[in-house]
Chain A
Amino acid sequence: MTLEAPIDVRAEALRLMSNGVYVLTAAVADSAHAATITWASQVSFQPTLVLVALRRNSHLAQAVRKAHRFALNIMAEDQQEIVSRYFEHSTGPLEGERGLESPFRLTLGKCPLLTDALGWLECKLVAEPTSPGDHALMLGEVTGAGIRRESRPMVLRDTPWSYGGIRG
């Protein structure tokens, strides 16, 4: 029942996790980068640290490594259409703040923040913990944060999508 458990049982258990849905953004040189992610968690109160898992060797992971910082844009429950535009990695010029799939504003620390998001965290990349898995782990220390409006955040399990457990 334990070690012999079929793989899909573990996958089913993993899919019971109910993470939020975030658009991760970063800026490298003159370009903005963004993509939707769900594997994110706070991991320390003091200092305030968050962990995100990004597909290894993805454009997004490379962008965060180069930028040494990233933002987590917290999306509202009624923003599925905007979120779906970022399922594929989006990139475009910083200039004009219109190079992504939705408008953004650049922080002083040079992080693009989606103006549609209901809140955001800006993080400095402090470590990339080693992991043998298929996603790179990025540990960020929160350096800035803001709320734009009151709304309920999107939770993955309340959407038609899934990411945990199995591919797709």
Chain B
Amino acid sequence: MDSDTLKAILRLFNYGLFIASCSADEGPRAATVSWVSQVSFEPKQIAVALRKGTSICEGVQKCGRFGLHVVGENQPELARAFFKVSQVGPADIAGFRYWISPTGVPILGAAIAWMECEVVEQAGHSGDHVLFIATVIGGDIQVPGIRALALHDTVWHYGG
């Protein structure tokens, strides 16, 4: 199997764009992720793969809870703002305002929707990402009627 073919095929998979967030001692952390899928109806659960050794991955491992924000199709700049380690201000991360949910998760006001997730399992240890299985314990649609940004509709890719 040649690696260019494999890369091309893995890039045929579609994903949304999401901002994962968590709290750490020094303040909130947030990063753009795309390897996300729902994995259970009841209880409502999702799987998220976060690259090992990144601050978001270590933060989620430490606090066991995270926020997952859906980027709207009109918001590519929101996704782009969290590709790299973000500057945190007194009330913003990378220039986007946030609030802290009652369970301690930073929630970005700009995202079209968010979910608050509690980690129930970690898997995928043979790979280069940690696979978090998490129950969705809360969430809200902040901007109704907007479709989610799909990786296929952007110039970016992550698979391969």
- Residue numbers of A with Cβ under 8 A of B are 1-5, 7, 9-14, 16-20, 39-49, 51, 53, 74, 118-121, 126-127, 129-135, 137, 139, 142-147, 152-153, 155, 157, 164-167
Contact = CB atoms under 8 A, between A and B. Distances in A.
B131 A43 contact: yes
B49 interface: yes
Prevailing SS type, chain A contact patch? mixed
B124 A129 contact: yes
A137 B138 contact: no
Contact of B115 (A14, A47, A126): A14
Given A145-B1, A165-B38, A130 B49 contact: no
B47 A155 contact: no
B37 A18 contact: no
A43 B16 contact: no
Interface of B: 1, 5-6, 8-10, 12-16, 35-47, 49, 70, 101-103, 112-116, 120-121, 123-124, 126-129, 131, 133, 136-141, 147-148, 150, 152, 158-160
A74 B156 CA distance: 20
Contacts of A18: 14-16, 147-148, 150
A93 B112 CA distance: 47
8 contacts: A2-B139, A16-B16, A18-B16, A43-B131, A48-B10, A127-B124, A131-B120, A153-B13
Contacts of A147: 5, 8-9, 12
Contacts of B15: 18-19, 41
Contact of A131 (B40, B103, B138, B150): B40
A16 B113 contact: yes
User: What 6 pairs between A and B have smallest CB-CB spacing?
Assistant: A133-B40, A44-B127, A129-B123, A2-B138, A43-B49, A53-B39
A132 B43 contact: yes
Given A41-B15, A142-B6, A133 B133 contact: yes
A97 B44 CA distance: 38
Contacts of B47: 41, 43, 51, 53, 137
Contacts of B46: 14
B113 to A, nearest CB: 4
Given A10-B139, A14-B38, A14-B115, 16 more contacts: A17-B70, A18-B147, A42-B13, A42-B35, A51-B39, A51-B47, A121-B9, A127-B126, A131-B39, A131-B45, A133-B40, A145-B1, A145-B10, A146-B1, A147-B8, A147-B12
B70 A46 contact: no
Contacts of B113: 12-13, 16
B110 to A, nearest CB: 15
A2 B65 CA distance: 13
Given A129-B123, A135-B39, A41 B13 contact: yes
A164 B38 contact: yes
Contacts of B131: 43, 51, 129, 139
Contact of B103 (A3, A157, A165): A3
Nearest to B160: A45
